[in-house]
Structure 1
């Protein structure tokens, strides 16, 4: 029996929607979900307040300042990657308040504002797809083949996050 100690990685993600209704997505260049489109965010450091982590991560990844409007939902990714990592991710709806859009290159190689209509066609990890499905429920989320995880399979999490 393997008794290695496992840790849950807690992260924050900013769902930034501009005045034209576009959502900011970044192309991830690190695992997990390398080469997929995600919203900016990352791990909460030990002793760091949740919203401080959110602001720090957005500035570090894309150079933008945001104001937080509300918690959208929490999503879990379980048994991800070669280490079988467990992530608990808090997704916040945010509004752009300043800065200049510039992907950092070490975590994301591209950043772009995506229209509502484009969102379901993007290569998104399950958590991102689930959250955007809550923000834009009128879009055809379950009907497109872009709902594929990194292993090339349609994940169970698309139906409902695990509790």
Structure 2
């Protein structure tokens, strides 16, 4: 099926939620993009919605947590993702949980898990998430999770498998 090239860039905000034990909350998606992969909670910014408001809303909708937004970690761009060739610019923010009882949205996620830093390099995450995690934990061995390069279709699970080292 052919999809028309989208007319606008999708701007999203994502929360890298770090608890007191330095664990990071990851969620497994059950919808595209990145179906089946682990990602951090987040989503689109609605027109007219402040960035921090969007981040807090998305975290609440996806995992039921209240968070305090701390600082921008980095910006990551996904170009021509999937059959629709979507273009995303994602703002990744560090956040601290103010509540801890997870309540996942089953329409978007199959699970949510707190991961210790040493577990992160072994987890199947998209390139943007991997980029942020590697910035937060540069001391970890990320060699087998090198970005797939400019071929954006490799960001979709099962299209271009990343070789395990």
Is TM-score (shorter-chain normalized) higher than 0.5? yes
SS in 2 for 1:64: coil
The answer to whether residue 43 in structure 2 is matched with residue 42 in structure 1 is yes
Q: Is the 8 A contact 2:27 2:111 kept in 1?
A: yes
Number of the residue aligned with 1:115: 116
Compute the RMSD of aligned alpha carbons.
1.9
Compute the displacement of 1:105 (Å): 0.5
- Answer whether contact 1:124 1:146 (CA < 8 A) is retained: no
- Is the 2:18–2:25 contact (alpha carbons within 8 Å) kept by the matching residues of 1? yes
TM-score, with length taken from structure 2? 0.86
Which residue in 2 is equivalent to 1:96?
Answer: 97
Equivalent in the alignment of 2:151? none
**Counterpart contact for 2:6–2:86, Cα < 8 Å:** no
Question: 1:132 maps to which residue?
Answer: 133
Judged with a 3 Å threshold, the aligned counterparts in structure 2 of structure 1 residues 146 and 126 are, in CA distance, closer, same or farther, namely closer
Report the CA distance between 1:143 and its aligned residue.
2.9
Structure 1: how far apart are the matches of 2:147 and 2:9? 28
- Offset of 1:100 from its aligned partner? 1.9
CA contact (8 A) 1:122 1:146 kept: no
Mapped partners of 1:5, 1:34: distance in 2: 20
1:90-141 Cα deviation digits (max 9, x unpaired): 0000001125211110111100000111101000000000011101111111
The answer on 1:76 being equivalent to 2:77 is: yes
TM-score by length of 1: 0.87
1:134, 1:144 → 2: CA distance? 13
Moved over 4 A (4+): 144-148
1:47 Cα shift? 1.0
Pick closer, same or farther for the CA change 1:85–1:146 going to 2, 3 Å.
closer
**3-state SS of 1:71 partner:** strand
Which consecutive unaligned segments of at least 5 residues does structure 2 have?
149-153
The 3 A distance-change label for structure 1 pair 19 and 4 is: closer
Deviations along 1:23-82, whole A, 9 cap, x unmatched?
A: 000000110000000000000011111110000000000000000111000000000011
Indicate if the aligned counterparts of 1:79 and 1:85 stay in contact, CA closer than 8 A.
yes
How many matched pairs? 152
Ranges in structure 1 where 5+ consecutive residues have no aligned partner: 155-163
